[in-house]
Structure 1
Amino acid sequence: MSAPTRFDRGHTDDLMSFLAASPTPYHAVANVAERLEKAGFRQVAETDAWDSEGPSGAASGSGGRYVLRGGAIVAWYVPEGAAPHTPYRIIGAHTDSPNLRVKPLPDTGAHGWRQVAVEIYGGPLLNSWLDRDLGLAGRLTLRDGGEVLVDVDRPLLRVPQLAIHLDRTVTSDGLKLDKQRHLQPVWGLGDDVREGDLIAFLEEEAGLPAGSVTGWDLMAYPVEAPAYLGRDRELVAGPRMDNLLSVHAGTAALAAAATAAASGAPLTHIPVLAAFDHEENGSQSDTGADGPLLGSVLERSVFARGGSYEDRARSFAGTVCLSSDTGHAVHPNYAERHDPTHHPRINGGPILKVNVNNRYATDGSGRAVFAAACERAGVPFQTFVSHNSMPCGTTIGPITAARHGIKTVDIGVAILSMHSVRELCGADDPFLLANALMGFLEG
């Protein structure tokens, strides 16, 4: 690949469109699938037989395929002539973000207000949800077992902050929010709580018959659009960058690698995108990184190409995964919270994330893999290490390495305001990350 030019506006514009169109994990994977379909990928059902006699050739032979399960997607491209023991190169990411999710009995309220009962998902910065215009989106499950995505993309909900006149110590003692009492959004007026009101409203919004919805997975989200920021528009502010920024970059890299391979570019491995749900609460689900989805897909792909368990073992032994998630850029107002010798900067290129206590999966040999990918792509990279007195978070990286025995390297893009309703990244960095991922899939 040639060295990327600074700030590819088209890629960043497309990221902003992707963020706006993906208010939930279910919408995100639907959008990824649509983009991959345009690149020639085809969906494979987990309930079908994965052999040449299955529908559309199922998962044998060459070409691009993907599996959708809830808020997760695994996509891969098998190059022409790939052997059963051909190793994989995996881009790992996650589709979920901390937010407010609707409870099973959503209709509540008091004192003349109608409210929606919500539960806190993951670890959001709670104060960032106050006084925001919120939409509502998610997945509706129908009486016949079908599913419909819904998105009320307009100001519908709001979590009103208490006026300073009623909390005189807030500026001196800081804001204290009770997750149960203070985060329930309002969405109308009325003295009576009408059971079924919210779901009936969503049925109408989605054009569904009354009473047809029997299950739901719904979440609030800010309707304010992503935007460029700064004197020279060198920053981007927007929602859910953790971690749809990586999902978007990984999708672009996989589609580009598949297009190049279809045009005759050699690939010595099988490129994969694995975008999981539920990273923000531990990844322990059937669509999370600690579940069986990735291993099942990779194994079935080996066996669909006529492989044995020995081929599976050989394939996994040669496989490498880049776990791509956002990390912390040095904060100008809190520089002392960062390691004094590791200060990742906005627009300085993707970061290599290191933690010797295995909160990240990177080791020295993994660093060499990422360095080679960045060199191939002409992309600079930085290194992130946490301050010793402030233990870092973790990612799907250690989970992937431990569960599948796959060499894994933790990387990402440095941002500010992580877990806020509105996060901040550099306008160059998404494009640089996508190029680095492309270099990894090609290498």
Structure 2
Amino acid sequence: MENPVAVDLVEFLNASPTAFHAVDEAKRRLKIAGYEQLSEREDWKLEAGKKYLFTRNHSTIVAFAIGRKYVAGNGIYIVGAHTDSPCLKLKPVTKVSKGGCLEVGVQTYGGGLWHTWFDRDLAIAGRVIIREQKDGSESYSHRLVRIEEPIMRIPTLAIHLDREVNDAFKFNKQSHLAPVLATAVKAELNKPAAENGSVEKGSSDGKTNTNQKHHSLLLQLIAAEAGCEPNDICDFELQACDTQKSIIAGALKEFIFSGRLDNLCMSFCSLKALIDSTSSESSLQDETGIRMVALFDHEEVGSDSAQGAGSPVMFDALSRITNSFSSDTKLIPKAIQRSYLVSADMAHALHPNYMDKHEENHQPKMHGGLVIKHNANQRYATNAVTSFFFREIAAKHKLPVQDFVVRNDMACGSTIGPILASGVGIRTVDVGAPQLSMHSIREMCAVDDVKHSYEHFKAFFQEFSHLDAKLTVDI
């Protein structure tokens, strides 16, 4: 029988081809669970025992539930993750024509395994800004779009034309990564005629003419999905997406094969844990703190943006929540020192074909539970105190836990953990579920670890305030 948590994850993944869609799906689930949406542009009037959410740029989302016994200055218990994954994003000018083919100009986002994007059936998803007419005046709307049909492909060069390709597959990211959209001949034959001339002609009414920057065929496909005319598209943020669905697979149905497991798997598990730990009337009855999930954009490129973990999003949330219950600003530093962050980002499972890439005493395995990440040089924010709390919760619930340290002769990656720990001053532990093929267009993880992660995060939300009261360090 399939694990219901893993089945739910697959549904979340298939609904979330981009960070925008992931936030939209998270918001949909939170609203069903009774979370009220706030606007950062407005004043907040919060109440103990209530549940709230807000988004920034529609690519970062923060949700929190306030304990009925919360008072200003108490701690906030957070699981943080990220909504973005390495991908190919469409350039501001995508119109590329070469060798009788229409291609789409893309730029690499993050540190992807770009060779895995060749010979995949690709679609497009993201958001568009659309011009509209309402009550006789011009206005604009923000819409998410998703073309699910495969419309593009990045073809490899035949081995007959590159005999050394199996020794080393080398490609130029500028020249060789452009997806083929159509042949020029077919595109010309299928071009619709505008009422007053060709669709390629410039606009005479002063409006932005996107046909000069993009193939009209591409705009027609996007407009059809957005429910507008091509010339009503003012701008967009779109990316190429693999059309293959996420699935539970393997001979024993023990794996999940999917894109974007890094880091939508952790985003989902933390989101579901928050929702389920605050679902009943009594869930927050004895809670003295605040339970929060923060899913950030732009982790894969350093988090330095208005909606990344390097922005004031976290501090703004902590401050505004505290200030909603007291005007005493001295309580904010107290609240920060009483708070705790679980930075949840997928971890590297031991690869059976490359076992020498792992330190021999730190080899996380699939099905082995969440991995606590350590790095003496602070590439991860874990220390003995923060890891103790996380292990103690695992031990109480008989949940497996593993440890990871990168080899001394290899560089170590990082997460939002050190960014938030240093930027906000919050106690932090770095963890993640083990996976293979990280940053490939198609990754894999274990079904059991999805369940372990969800249960671990849920127990954290339910019990951390009581556990925290039992250990004092700075006295």
The AA in structure 2 aligned to 1:439 is A
User: Which position in structure 2 is the counterpart of 1:346?
Assistant: 366
Q: 1:20 aligns with which of 14, 19, 24?
A: 14
> What residue in structure 1 maps to residue 288 of structure 2?
268
1:47 alignment partner in structure 2? 41
The residue aligned with 2:5 is 11
- Could you tell me which residue of structure 2 aligns to residue 147 of structure 1? 142
1:437 is aligned to 2:457: yes
* In 2, Cα distance between equivalents of 1:61 and 1:228: 40
1:276-425 correspondence to structure 2 within 5 Å: 276-425=296-445
Whole-angstrom distance in 2 between the partners of 1:264 and 1:85? 17
For 1:348 and 1:261, locate their aligned partners in 2 and report how far apart those are by CA, in whole Å.
34
Residues 416 and 425 of structure 1 are in contact (CA less than 8 Å); yes or no, is this contact kept in structure 2?
yes
Cα offset, 1:268, TM superposition: 2.7
Which of 62, 73, 91 aligns to 2:49? It is 62
Q: In angstroms, what is the RMSD of aligned CA positions?
A: 1.5
> Quick check: 1:261–1:267 contact (8 Å CA) kept in 2?
no
Corresponding residue for 1:203? Answer: 223
Amino acid in the other structure paired with 1:83: V
Match among 93, 105, 117 for residue 129 of structure 1: 117
Structure 2 letter corresponding to 1:295: F
For residue 189 of structure 1, what is the aligned residue in structure 2?
Answer: 183
Asked if residue 160 in structure 1 is aligned to residue 155 in structure 2, the reply is yes
Q: How many angstroms does 1:263 deviate by? A: 4.5
* Cα pair 1:114 1:187 within 8 Å, conserved: yes
Q: Which amino acid aligns with 2:152?
A: L
Relative distance call for 1:341 and 1:264 in structure 2 (3 A) is: closer
Residue 9 of structure 1 deviates from its aligned partner by 1.0
Structure 2 SS opposite 1:146: strand
AA matched with 1:93: A
Shift of 1:373: 2.1
- Separation in 2, partners of 1:303, 1:27: 31
1:117 alignment partner in structure 2: 105
* Contact 1:85 1:307 (C-alpha < 8 Å) held by counterparts: no
The normalised TM-score by structure 1 is 0.94
Q: 1:307 to 1:8 in 2, by over 3 A?
A: farther
Asked if the contact 1:77–1:271 (Cα under 8 Å) also holds between the matched residues in 2, the reply is yes
**Conserved in 1, the CA contact under 8 Å of 2:258 and 2:443?**
yes
- Per-residue CA deviations over 1:266-310 (Å, capped at 9, x if unaligned) read 223200000000000000001100001111111101111124211
Q: Which residue of 2 aligns with 1:54?
A: none
Equivalenced residues, count:
429
CA distance in 1, matches of 2:51, 2:381: 28
| Contact kept? 1:8, 1:428, Cα under 8 Å | no
Distance 1:359 1:264 in 2: 34
Q: Secondary structure at the match of 2:279?
A: helix
Instruction: Quote the offset at 1:48 in angstroms.
Output: 1.0
Q: Which amino acid aligns with 2:153?
A: R
Could you tell me which runs of 5 or more consecutive residues in structure 1 were left unpaired when the two chains were aligned: 1-6, 52-58
SS of residue in 1 equivalent to 2:320: helix
Q: Which amino acid aligns with 1:65?
A: Y
Structure 1 position 115, deviation (Å): 0.8
Letter in 2 for 1:169: E
Q: Report the CA distance shift for 1:154/1:376 in structure 2 as closer, same or farther (over 3 A).
A: farther
8 Å contact 1:61–1:305 — kept in the other structure? Answer: no
Conserved? CA contact 2:68–2:285, under 8 Å: no
Scaled by the length of structure 2, the TM-score of the pair is: 0.88
What's the offset of the Cα at 1:169?
A: 0.6
SS at match of 1:362: coil
Matches within 5 A, 1:231-270: 231-260=251-280, 262-263=282-283, 265-270=285-290
Alpha-carbon separation, structure 1, partners of 2:16 and 2:2: 22
Decide whether the 8 Å contact of 1:376 with 1:439 is kept in 2. Answer: no
Structure 2 counterpart of 1:170? 165
Instruction: Answer whether contact 1:84 1:307 (CA < 8 A) is retained.
Output: no
Q: Are 2:130 and 2:141, in contact at CA under 8 Å, matched by a contact in 1? A: yes
Q: Deviations over 1:59-99 (max 9, x none)?
A: 34431101111200011001213101120000000000000
Q: 1-side partners of 2:327 and 2:394: how far apart?
A: 33
Query: How many percent of aligned residue pairs carry the same amino acid?
Result: 35
Secondary structure at the residue paired with 2:230?
Answer: coil
CA distance in 2, matches of 1:38, 1:416: 33
CA 231–265 in structure 1, closer or farther in 2 if over 3 Å, else same: farther
Residue 81 (structure 2) pairs with residue 93 (structure 1): yes
Q: Work out which of the two has the higher radius of gyration on C-alpha atoms and give 1 or 2.
A: 2
- Cα deviation for residue 265 of structure 1 reads 4.8
> Per-residue deviation at 1:200?
3.6
Secondary structure of 2:408's counterpart equals: coil
**Pairwise CA distance, 1:38:** 1.2
CA distance in 1, matches of 2:289, 2:70: 8
Counterpart residue identity of residue 241, structure 1: L
Q: Is the 8 A contact 2:67 2:285 kept in 1?
A: no
Q: Report the more deviating stretch, 75-84 or 419-428.
A: 75-84
